[in-house]
Amino acid sequence: MARRPLPRILTDSASLARSREIARTAADSASDVFHPLITISRGLGRLAAAGRQRWDATPKDRRGPLFFSVAACALAVAVVPYGPLLAAISMMGAAAWAGRDRNAAKSGPGEAQKERLQGLYEALVPYFSADGDPSPLYSHGGDWEQAFTEYGFDESGRLERLQLKYPAYFTDGEDQSRDRIEQVLHAKSGRGREYHFAWDEAANQLVLSVLGALPTDIAAQRFVTSPGETVLGFTDPDSVHRTLPVLQGEETQDAPPVLWRTGQRSTEPHLLVLGQPGTGGTTLLRSIALQALAEGDVLVIDGTGTGEFACLAGRSGVLGVESGLAGALATLEWAAHETERRLISANRARQAGRSAPEDTRRPLWIIVDRPTTLAHLAAAEGRDDPQLLLQMPLRHGGAANVTVVVAERCETAELLADAVRAHTRARVVLGPATADEVRSVLGAPPHTTPTADVPPGRGYARLGTGPVLRLQVPATPDPFDEETCEADRLAVMALLPERTVPLAASTSFAKAAPAADEAAPLGAQAATAQGGESVAVNGSEAAHVEGPLS
Structural contact between residues 293 and 318, judged by C-beta atoms closer than 8 angstroms: yes
Determine the distance from the C-alpha atom of residue 76 to the mean position of all C-alpha atoms in its chain, rounded to a whole number.
67
Ligand-binding site membership of 327 (annotated): no
| Burial of 43: CB neighbours in 10 Å, binned 0-12, 13-18, 19+ | buried
Distance, in Å, from the CA atom of 376 to the CA atom of 372, rounded to the nearest integer, reads 6
Ligand-binding site membership of 457 (annotated): no
Question: Per 3-state DSSP, what percentage of the chain is helix, strand, and coil (rounded to 5)?
Answer: 40, 20, 40
**Residues near 16 by beta carbon (within 8 Å), at least 6 away in sequence:** 9, 10
Distance, in Å, from the CA atom of 536 to the CA atom of 544, rounded to the nearest integer, reads 9
Q: What are phi and psi of 68, to 5 degrees?
A: -65, -35
**Residues near 411 by beta carbon (within 8 Å), at least 6 away in sequence:** 276
Ligand-binding site membership of 277 (annotated): yes
Structural contact between residues 419 and 448, judged by C-beta atoms closer than 8 angstroms: no
Q: What residue type is 197 in one-letter code? A: F
Local structure of 258: helix, strand or coil: strand
Distance, in Å, from the CA atom of 73 to the CA atom of 66, rounded to the nearest integer, reads 11
Provide the 10 A C-beta neighbour count for residue 239.
15
Helices vs. strands in the chain: H and E counts, helices first: 17, 19
Provide the 10 A C-beta neighbour count for residue 289.
26
Ligand-binding site membership of 279 (annotated): yes
Distance, in Å, from the CA atom of 432 to the CA atom of 455, rounded to the nearest integer, reads 9
Cα-based distances in Å from 474 to 209, 375, 459: 25, 30, 12
Classify strands 364-369 and 297-302 as parallel, antiparallel or unpaired.
Answer: parallel
Distance, in Å, from the CA atom of 328 to the CA atom of 385, rounded to the nearest integer, reads 11
Structural contact between residues 308 and 478, judged by C-beta atoms closer than 8 angstroms: yes
Provide the 10 A C-beta neighbour count for residue 128.
20
Ligand-binding site membership of 275 (annotated): yes
Specify the DSSP class assigned to residue 253. E
Structural contact between residues 309 and 300, judged by C-beta atoms closer than 8 angstroms: yes
Strand segments (E) across 454-544: 458-463, 469-472, 507-508, 534-535, 543-544
Provide the 10 A C-beta neighbour count for residue 133.
13
Q: What are phi and psi of 245, to 5 degrees?
A: -75, 125
Strand partners, 152: 161
Determine the distance from the C-alpha atom of residue 3 to the mean position of all C-alpha atoms in its chain, rounded to a whole number.
80
Binding residues: 275-282
Binding residues for ATP: 275-282
